[in-house]
Every structure is written in C-alpha cells, then in structure tokens.
Amino acid sequence: MNKIGSLLSPPPWTPRLWQIMLLPSPFILALLGALGITTLVMLIAGVSPLAVYQILFFGAFSTPVRFGDMVMLATPLILCASGLTLTFAAGLYNLGVEGQVVLGAIAAMIPLRLFPELPTPLLWTLSLSCAACGGACWALLAASLRLGARVSEIFAGLGLNFLASGLALYLILGPWRRSGAAAASGTALLPRDIWLPTLEGLRLAPLAPIIALLGLGLVWWVLSRTRWGLEVRAVGINPNAADRLGVAATWRIAQAMAGCGALAGIAGGLQIIAVFHQLIPNISSGVGLLGLLVVLLVLARPVWVLPVSIIFASFTVGSVQLPLALGVDSSIAGVLQGALVLSALLARGVRRERAQRI
C-alpha cells in the first residue's frame, strides 16, 4: 500500500511547477503597468483617460485614410525592428539604426537623380538596392569600430547617427538643393511617375508593406531555420565559446550588423519613393528608435514584431487626433509606448526572480 500511495502522490516538484505556471504573464503585467503609469499622467493633467485610450487604440482604424497612414508608418517600423532582431540575436545593441535609415534614404536618391529615364520598375529596384547597400555599409562602419577599435556599438552608432543627419542636411542645402533656392525643408520633389503607386484617395502604397513583410519573413526564417541563425544566436550567448567551437564570431557579428543595416536602409529608401518623395532632414521620422522599443518589448522574437509594430503605429497615428479632439498633446502616445516597454522589462525581471526563489 505504501508503494501504491507513493505512486499516486504527486511528485515533490509539482507545487513548484504550478507556482511558476501561475505567475502572472509578463505581457499582462506590462500592459497593466503601462496603463497605470499613463493613466496617472493623464489624471494629473486633468484629462479623461478613457477618451484618450479610445482614440489611441481605435483612432487609426476610424477611416480608410488613417488606416492607410498607419500601415505606411508600420512599414519602415517592421523593417527596422526585423533588422534589429538580427543584431539583438548576436548580442549587439545597434543604436545606429537611425543613421542607417538616413544613409539608405541618401543612397536611394542617387539613382533616382542620375537615371530618372530608366523604366520605373527597374529604377525602383535599383533605388532600393542602393538603399540596402548604403544602410549595410553604414552598419558595417559601426561594426568595424566595435571589432577593430573596441568601441562599443552603442556609442559608435550614436555618433554615426549624428554624422548621417549632418550629411543629409549638407546634401539638402548643398549639392542637392532646390534650383534657385536652398531650403532646409528638403530637396525638390521627385517626378510623380517614379513614386510608388498608391490606392485611390489614400497615401497607402501596397508594395511597401509587402516588402516589409517579406523582410520580416526572411529574418524569421534565417534565425529559426538555418545554421547561420543558430550560429548568430550562439555568438549572442557567448562569442568566445562560439569561437572555440568553430563559429566565426567576428564574421557573424559583422553579417548581423550588415543585415540590420540593409533592412533599415530599405526602410529609408521606401521613405523616399513611397512617403516623402524627397530627401528631408528628418527622413527617418524616428522609426529606428521606435523599432528599438519594439524589439525590447518582444525580446527580439520575430514572430511578435508584426503585431507590436502595428500597435505602436496605431498609437502614433491615433495620437495625431488628440490635440483636435481633446486638446491633449500627441506626445502621450510616446508615454504609453515607453511605459509599455519599461513595464515589460520590469515584469520579466520580477517574474524571473520569483521563479528562481520558488
């Protein structure tokens, strides 16, 4: 009977397993924490939180025009976040992604200005190829500073961001200035026949989100289904151990940075041919830094990049309506996005610590 009783009794580890499983989900904790912080800010400002949340969450879906704007904002965000999953997998914090978007936009302008007479599909292909090369080269510059001069990619990337912005402004005011005037607002508009076609009555160019989804799918595939992705993740965990096991850690780091730069560069190229149709000083529109928030929130898992990018883009588009509808500054969307990431990081830390104690 004692043997039968011992077989029927639960193993000693069962309570601990159930305690770990019953811990609140990091996503739930992050959402509650972000809503709590943002609600507190709005209450202090004397604003109705429910009215603000209604606009932030559903404003981007209220009209076809706003929905199209949300998709076009999510497009470069998906590309940047997809690229950043490569560098995060390799253990790198690529804060230079903003500069890579800018260099991609600059490189995309070169064939558009030099060969406008080429067939339009060929010109688009050439422009986006140049954009990918420009972003990749700028990322490799940060990687070379990291690998050759032992300069952290964080500081190298931030410095290169300023340099890229300065280069864009120089081109706008100098060699690429508008004929007859040097306007800091941007270069002359590209001919309309080389813009990416949009849906009638909308600013939505369907080819742009298709390119972004292809980029995201490619990143998911190489990271989860190829030997290269396995080696990149091994380098991210321990580059010295990976090197001893025959993985060329230096090459994998450089390749991950180049891949991220290429995707960010394509995002910059799409900003040129699908959104602004000219080079402007703020051509990146902050999508690189917003992509960093997305990747931090999803822990660099490509499968979650798409929904979180759409949510963040919805917040941004919805926030534009706040000043007109409620007299609230649109920056409240940034508060919610930042609070969501911060709460997610804190929730994961708390959950991990509690799991270790159980």
pLDDT of the residue at 6: 46
pLDDT of the residue at 341: 77
Q: What is the pLDDT of residues 193-235, one digit of tens each?
A: 999 999 998 999 999 999 999 999 999 999 999 999 999 999 9
- Residue 145 falls inside a structural domain: yes
Q: How far apart are CA 56 and CA 3, in angstroms?
A: 61
- Residue 77 falls inside a structural domain: yes
Higher pLDDT, 357 or 222: 222
Q: How far apart are CA 156 and CA 83, in angstroms?
A: 18
pLDDT of the residue at 331: 79
- Residue 97 falls inside a structural domain: yes
- Residue 267 falls inside a structural domain: yes
Q: How many domains does the chain have?
A: 1
Q: How far apart are CA 353 and CA 339, in angstroms?
A: 21
- Residues 153, 158, 160: CA angle, nearest 5 degrees: 90
Contact between 238 and 244 (Cβ < 8 Å): no
pLDDT of the residue at 4: 44
Domain span holding position 185: 66-294
- Residue 307 falls inside a structural domain: no
pLDDT of the residue at 334: 80
Mean pLDDT of 137-165: 92
Q: Is the pLDDT of residue 29 over 90?
A: no
- Residue 301 falls inside a structural domain: no
- Residue 25 falls inside a structural domain: no
- The CB density around residue 246, as the number of other CB atoms within 10 Å, is 7
Radius of gyration (Cα) for the chain, nearest Å?
23
- Residue 53 falls inside a structural domain: no
Q: Give the number of residues written for the chain.
A: 358
What pTM does this model have? 0.88
pLDDT of the residue at 182: 56
Among the residues of the chain, which ranges form H helices? 2-8, 14-21, 26-45, 49-58, 64-89, 97-114, 120-148, 153-173, 207-225, 227-237, 239-244, 249-270, 287-298, 305-319, 322-325, 332-357
* The two three-digit tokens of residue 58, written as one number: 């559903």
